[in-house]
């Protein structure tokens, strides 16, 4: 490929992406499939006391609408918007709605259906570790209920198959905060 062709291609790419850029400088993109991202944001804002500072009432209303729109007929939510109901998806979506101002009687019975879905399956104690972490951060699940992942595991030689560096980046990023929180809890 000639240098001139590369230059033309780069200019076309820049022109294309500049048309997608919003006035305030970012490029919006839909990553709406996973239902576990929104709860993390809302819980993080809630524990820092920043929900109303960061999210306008209109944003909160649209977030609630989005979550309600993806509720399954059985009352639960999946890991993704089209997935079957899971304890993780249901508990996290239910908590998100509660933090955004929904009470048990709101949502035309949707909140009651969600609560029933959770209770019919033994409660949120069967939620996976990532959910337990967020519920512990909120103070609604005991830290002692978390499965401890010792931070010393990072000291293992890299060639050991259990070394965290051998795991996917997603797994490392999503679990590393657990090591920190568990360590802080133990101190």
List the beta strands (DSSP E) in 1-86.
Answer: none
179 pLDDT band, cuts 50/70/90, is low
Question: Looking at the DSSP assignment, which residues form a beta bridge with residue 80?
Answer: 34
The listed range with the strongest mean pLDDT (33-37, 98-102, 141-145) is 98-102
Domain borders along the chain are 37-123, 148-186
Which phi and psi angles does 108 have, rounded to 5°?
A: 50, 45
User: What's the pLDDT tens digit per position in 107-118?
Assistant: 899 999 999 999
- Would you state the torsion angle of the CA atoms of residues 69, 74, 78, 82, taken in this order, to the nearest 10 degrees? -60
- Count other C-beta atoms under 10 Å from residue 30's C-beta: 5
Q: Read off the pTM.
A: 0.71
Q: Which pLDDT tens digit goes with each residue over 81-90?
A: 989 999 999 9
Q: Which two tokens stand for residue 27?
A: 């490029």
**Average confidence (pLDDT) over 75-79:** 96
């Amino acid at each position: 490929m000639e240098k001139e062709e590369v230059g033309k291609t780069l200019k076309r790419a820049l022109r294309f992406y500049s048309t997608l850029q919003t006035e305030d400088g970012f490029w919006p993109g839909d990553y709406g499939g996973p239902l576990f991202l929104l709860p993390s944001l809302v819980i993080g804002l809630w524990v820092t006391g920043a929900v109303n500072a960061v999210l306008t009432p209109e944003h909160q209303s649209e977030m609630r609408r989005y979550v309600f729109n993806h509720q399954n007929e059985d009352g639960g939510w999946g890991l993704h918007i089209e997935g079957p109901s899971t304890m993780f998806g249901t508990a996290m979506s239910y908590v998100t709605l509660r933090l955004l101002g929904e009470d048990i009687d709101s949502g035309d019975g949707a909140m009651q259906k969600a609560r029933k879905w959770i209770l019919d399956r033994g409660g949120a104690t069967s939620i996976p570790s990532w959910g337990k972490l967020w519920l512990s951060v909120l103070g609604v699940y005991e830290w002692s209920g978390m499965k401890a992942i010792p931070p010393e595991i990072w000291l293992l030689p890299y060639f050991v198959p259990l070394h965290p560096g051998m795991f996917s980046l997603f797994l490392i990023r999503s679990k590393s905060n657990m090591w920190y929180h568990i360590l802080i809890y133990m101190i």
